[in-house]
Amino acid sequence: MVAQLEYVNRVKTQTENEVLTFTFDQLLLQRGGRLAPVTLAYETWGELNATGDNAILVAHALTGSSHAHDVEDPENPKAGWWNPLIGPGKYFDTARYFVICANIIGGCYGSTGPSSKNPLTDRPYGMRFPVITIRDMVRAQYMLIKHLGVRRLAMVAGGSIGGQQALEWAVAYPDLVEKVAVIAASAAVTAQAIAFNEVARQSIMADAAWQCGDYLPNQGPATGLSIARMLAMITYQSEESMEQRFARKQAQREPVTTPTFSPDLGGRFDVENYLYYQGDQLARRFDANSYLYISRAMDLYDVSEGYPSLEDALERIQSQMLFVGISSDFLFPATHVRWLADKVQAVGGDARYVEVNSPHGHDAFLKEWDKLTAALRQFSL
Amino acid sequence: MVAQLEYVNRVKTQTENEVLTFTFDQLLLQRGGRLAPVTLAYETWGELNATGDNAILVAHALTGSSHAHDVEDPENPKAGWWNPLIGPGKYFDTARYFVICANIIGGCYGSTGPSSKNPLTDRPYGMRFPVITIRDMVRAQYMLIKHLGVRRLAMVAGGSIGGQQALEWAVAYPDLVEKVAVIAASAAVTAQAIAFNEVARQSIMADAAWQCGDYLPNQGPATGLSIARMLAMITYQSEESMEQRFARKQAQREPVTTPTFSPDLGGRFDVENYLYYQGDQLARRFDANSYLYISRAMDLYDVSEGYPSLEDALERIQSQMLFVGISSDFLFPATHVRWLADKVQAVGGDARYVEVNSPHGHDAFLKEWDKLTAALRQFSL
């Protein structure tokens, strides 16, 4: 992995949103093959200090992007996916830290992914994109932080697949990371989580518009991707939160078209209308093949892969570790997050576990701002 | 509702499996419209006594049939869906009781459903089949038991949608039922259950082979129905049981073709192979439109519908009620089953609650034979 010398010197505070890119020549992949070249789209906030050790990397989840923070609309939780946590005086304090977020490889927000042009064919990769893993994503991020002049990361943090990346950072680059916050993520996902992901993927691939992955831009499998998202949204919430919000209410708002343009069968429940809306929104903004590859990376991730045992992997960790579980999360059960924290402690690591008590399920890491900040503050920055 | 006079006198013990049918002229439906004529496919075991009060009705779940018991293979749990509970000396003792099971309307195992011929067009109903409810299913069963000469049911029992039917029997025909066992069912399903069902239905309707419901026999949306079944199988189990059985094991058995004939992406987990198999099996044996209508009846069911309040509905109950919740059921959470038992008690009903402690999730009502028998035995027959 050799970085191209298109070094971008970015140490000034941004006043407007700007997505930058960094391209390097190749990445050899954990499961074989390589990706070449590799572009990462990224954003930064705050300034890197002279010693290059005040950088924080935040890692996004499945359908996220580099836009964790919005400098033009910093108080709006919807303008950047971790907006309430990032900014001057916030937990990820951009007055003191240089915060970096990059779109993961496999993504569709500027980084190399299945919708990127395959240089060998000059057409989008589609399903000729190689299988990528969380470790591959992290190794690409490593190239980026070196490129940015970061000598040591003050922290890596993320939730869900972002949490898997944070954990992988601690294991893959133990001497480069001071602190790591793993939120709503565990050593490896459950059989149930794999099962839900596979149903979502089959839904995408069942859509005739998928064309074995060779759909044209904006002509992708919108129906299949919408259905996949409907399912995913259930797994991101909880029985309790859905009951609080929807229960058995009939649709309250204007009816949204269903993914299949089907008529309602005996009325429409509000929860259905909500899911159609969420499905439609994702289908408009996200690439279906990226969904396949990234959700698969989530399934495949096992922090122990490539080491003789889980203990061997965890013994590598030198960072201070914070594990945050969410009480109602059924995609990454809190018991699994706590179990991992205990494992790290058991091999002599510096790990603490905090549980966010929330009815919002997995999604709490993108919703429970106060509780999340409180959990993170147990881990001083 | 007038029964046709094709009365079948069946009071002798069967020695071979036989599915009978009963047809009556019409059923006016709860949500409007009518079904005419209506055929029920049914099986019986044991003999009806002279006073017509030793009959037991068992009600099947979503993809079930009248074949609750197999007289030719009585010890095989797979030969009839409640085989271990039915037979001479078993809980539903066919030496003493006349046990009846009928395919529900909307089904595809001989009763009138979407795949039946619409007499107005001489072609299958498809999506011209009317919306049916649990109450409609029960009212059709009422016609059958009258036809069979039953004066009073000693018991009605069922799990899941079968449990909804049992509950509805207690409310709709309070003076006709001595005892009712409601297993893994509640007053109404949760928003989460509706959401899972709707994802399954959208998967079916997304399949081009669905043809707006007008597919030919054996040319239906096998891909969509397989995906729907994959999802449903997750909701019938539990995180714990899937972890015990599959964890993150790679596929152990011969690979099953995926619903979309897609290649594997980075290997195949055993849980995936299992789900492909289950999906394929259902697609071979079940009608996709029946799946749409019956799952919708499950969503729509609310025991209080048509009454001023839930209490008004439950006050009608005169039967002895047994509610059985399953500790790990997340489709019909045990807390909801217990809550309903408490409600029945609160309005003066005779209700008891038993919890089956099992990791098998919702499916425990088709698996945990000893625990289920023990739970039912608290309710003497």
Please say if the pLDDT value at position A153 is more than 80: yes
CA distance A206 to chain B (A): 5
Q: What is the pLDDT of residue B121?
A: 95
Every domain of chain B with CATH number 3.40.50.1820 lies at 20-189+302-377
The Cα–Cα gap between A379 and B106 comes to 57
**What average pLDDT score do residues B298-303 get?**
98
Distance, in Å, from the CA atom of B94 to the CA atom of B74, rounded to the nearest integer, reads: 12
Catalytic residue, chosen from A65, A160, A226, A290, is A160
Name A370's Cβ contacts closer than 8 Å, sequence gap at least 6: none
Residues of A in contact with B202 (CB under 8 A): 226-227, 230, 258-260, 262
pLDDT at A252: 82
Banded model confidence at residue B10, pLDDT cuts 50, 70, 90: very low
Q: pLDDT tens for residues B98-107? A: 999 999 999 9
The identity of residue A263, as a single letter, is P
Residue B248 pLDDT > 70, yes or no?
yes
Return the closest-CA partner of residue B78 out of B67, B91, B92, B89. B67
pLDDT at B9 over 90: no
Instruction: Give me the pLDDT at residue B7, please.
Output: 41
Q: Is B175 a catalytic residue?
A: no
The answer on pLDDT for A5 being more than 60 is no
Average pLDDT over residues B119-146: 97
- Hey, what are B228's tokens? 């729907």
> Once rounded to an integer, what is the mean pLDDT over residues B111-125?
97
Q: What would the two tokens of residue A310 be?
A: 């889980």
Residue A159 in this model has a pLDDT that exceeds 50: yes
* In the block, residue with structure tokens 């992007």: A65
Of A177, A149, A44, A22, which is closest to residue A98 (Cα–Cα)? A44
The pLDDT assigned to A145 comes to 98
Which residue type sits at A294?
Answer: I
Q: What is the pLDDT of residues A314-347, one digit of tens each?
A: 999 999 999 999 999 999 999 999 999 999 999 9
**What distance in Å separates residue B194's CA from the closest CA in chain A?**
8
What local confidence, expressed as pLDDT, does residue B4 receive?
Answer: 43
Which residues 182-241 of B have a C-beta within 8 angstroms of A? 188-192, 194-196, 198-199, 201-203, 205-208, 223-224, 226-227, 230-231, 234, 237-239
User: Best interface-test mutation with A: which of B262, B278, B330, B336 has the largest number of A CBs within 10 A?
Assistant: B262
In a 3-state reduction of DSSP, which class is residue B162?
helix
Cβ neighbours for A264, distance < 8 A, ≥ 6 positions apart: A255
What does the DSSP 8-state code read for residue B287?
-
- Flag if A258 and B192 touch (Cβ within 8 Å): no
Q: Residue B81: what pLDDT?
A: 98
Catalytic residue from among A329, A336, A358, A360: A329
- Is the bond preceding residue A37 a cis peptide, omega within 30 degrees? yes
Report how far residue B102's alpha carbon sits from residue A262's, in angstroms, rounded to the nearest whole number.
30
Query: Which residues lie across from A56 on neighbouring strands?
Result: A99, A155
| Span A249-284, pLDDT tens digits | 999 878 899 999 999 999 999 999 999 999 999 999
Q: Which residue of the set A67, A336, A360, A362 is catalytic? A: A362
pLDDT at res. B3: 43
Could you give the CA distance from residue B104 to residue B21 in angstroms, rounded to a whole number?
Answer: 12
Contact B268, B250 (CB under 8 A): yes
**CB-based contact B270:B250 (threshold 8 Å):** yes
Nearest residue, CB atoms, A260 vs list B195, B202, B247? B202
C-beta neighbour count of B293 within 10 angstroms: 26
CATH number belonging to domain A20-189+302-377? 3.40.50.1820
- Give the model confidence (pLDDT) of A6-46 as tens digits: 444 444 556 789 999 999 999 999 999 999 999 999 999 99
* pLDDT tens readout for residues A98-146: 999 999 999 999 999 999 999 999 999 999 999 999 999 999 999 999 9
Residue A331: half-sphere exposure toward Cβ, Cα within 13 Å: 28
Nearest partner of B233 among B163, B327, B331, judged by Cα: B331
Give the span between the Cα atoms of B370 and B381, in whole angstroms. 16
Residue B327 per-residue DSSP state: T
For residue A221, the distance in angstroms to the closest alpha carbon of chain B comes to 11
The CATH class that applies to domain B192-294 reads mainly alpha
Q: Report residue A330 CA to chain centroid gap.
A: 17
Q: Read off the pLDDT of residues A294-318 as tens digits, 9 standing for 90 and up.
A: 999 999 999 999 999 999 999 999 9
Domain with CATH 1.10.1740.110 in chain A: 192-294
| DSSP character at residue A104 | P
pLDDT reported for residue A13: 53
Segment B133-150, tens digit of pLDDT: 999 999 999 999 999 999
Torsion over CA: A76, A77, A83, A88 (sign): positive
The pLDDT of residue B13: 54
The whole-angstrom distance between B265's CA and the closest CA on chain A is 7
A115 φψ region: left (φ > 0), alpha (ψ -120 to 50), beta (else): alpha
Rounded average pLDDT over B337-349? 98
Integer angstrom CA distances of residue A38 from A20, A289, B16: 14, 17, 68
Write down the pLDDT at residue A8: 45
Cα B77 from Cα B186, distance rounded (Å): 26
Question: What is the pLDDT at residue B14?
Answer: 65
Distances (CA, A) of B20 to A357, B43, B59, B148: 55, 6, 16, 11
**Percent above pLDDT 90 for chain B:** 93
A122: which residues sit within 8 A by CB, 6+ positions away? none
CA distance B237 to B30: 32
Contacts of B271 in chain A (CB under 8 A): 191, 194-195, 198
Residue B12 has pLDDT above 60, yes or no: no
Is A362 labeled as catalytic in the residue annotation? yes
Query: Is the per-residue pLDDT at A362 higher than 90?
Result: yes
**Cβ atoms within 10 Å of B26's Cβ, excluding its own:** 12
Contact A206 B207 (CB under 8 A): yes
* A32 lies within 8 A of chain B by CB: no
Q: Do B191 and A293 touch (CB under 8 A)?
A: no
Contact yes or no for B45/B69 (Cβ under 8 A): yes
- B198 and A299 within 8 Å at the Cβ level: the answer is no
Mean pLDDT of chain A: 95
SS3 state at B148: coil
